[in-house]
Amino acid sequence: MPQIEVRDVTLVYDTPSGQVPGVRGVNFAMEASEFLCIVGPSGCGKTTLLNILAGFLAPGSGEIRIGGKAVTGQGLDRGIVFQDFAQLFPWRTALGNVAFGLEMKGIPKAEREAIAMEQLRLVKLEKFAQSYPHHLSGGMQQRVAIARALAYNPAVLLMDEPFAALDALTRDEMQRLLAEVWRETRKTVIYVTHNVAEAVFLADRVVVMTPHPGTVKTQVRIGLRRPRDPLSVEFLEYQKELLRHLTEQTATAA
């Protein structure tokens, strides 16, 4: 049985100017430990889909099952990383942020700090455990956010364009780090991005979405060995293939 099943998920937004379709009839399934990227142009509903997966939004129809159980709201089986650096709690140190989920679970202080420290080591920030977020760079803050989402050991990690607001060099570095973290933790990851190269670098499989209404156009399995070389011919071939799917849909939309 697949770990995550997204079945015919549809959501329509009610706005003052009428109904705006978010996503329509989205279907896909994932195995445990799979890294799935969702790519699509802005407005294709990929963040909406992630918010439904996270339990922030309830789908109008259809359902999502994680480990066989229907998702009905937020839950500790999912860790979430947002794009905005401001997601960290400014009044808590890096360690305090990472330990938050464990604190909510009622794990004793010494134990949760040990676990949080381990997570910070995983994202190479153990030296900054006592720093407050405003003293960290954007990339470091996102690494703390990743450690925070992993700390309470959720089955699934949901990531909404976590590196989109970083400069290109830092983004490359973060992608390598995330690939490493994923190799070590073997989490099931759903990663939303509009960056095709990022999707080819990270994903086992890429779901391409089209806007108006947001639905799955196609799925591409990335059959490259890891670690991946973004300059290899095969890598660029995959990039081209994804871009082709994306431009086709833009042409149809226009």
CB-wise, 105 or 121, nearer to other proteins?
Answer: 105
The least CB distance from residue 206 to other proteins, in Å, is: 25
CB-wise, 164 or 224, nearer to other proteins?
Answer: 164
How many CB atoms lie under 10 A from the CB of residue 175? 21
Of 1, 19, 68, 91, which lies in the binding site for other proteins, with binding defined by CB under 8 A? Answer: 91
CB-wise, 35 or 152, nearer to other proteins?
Answer: 152
Only segment of 39-47, 111-119, 131-139, 186-194 that touches other proteins (CB under 8 A)? 131-139
The least CB distance from residue 210 to other proteins, in Å, is: 27
Is 74 a residue that touches other proteins (CB under 8 A)? yes
| Phi, psi for residue 211 in degrees, rounded to 5 | -85, 170
- Site residues (CB under 8 A) for other proteins, limited to 142-181: 148-149, 152
Helices (H), the chain: 46-54, 94-104, 109-122, 138-151, 168-185, 196-202, 233-253
Of 69, 105, 121, 127, which lies in the binding site for other proteins, with binding defined by CB under 8 A? Answer: 105
Is 100 a residue that touches other proteins (CB under 8 A)? yes
Strands across the sheet with 61-66, in order? Answer: 18-30, 4-15, 61-66, 69-70
Only segment of 57-65, 132-140, 197-205, 209-217 that touches other proteins (CB under 8 A)? 132-140
Report the C-alpha gap between 121 and 88 in whole angstroms. 18
User: Which residue ranges make up the site for other proteins (CB under 8 A)?
Assistant: 54-56, 74-76, 78-80, 82, 84, 86-87, 89-91, 100-101, 103-105, 132-135, 148-149, 152
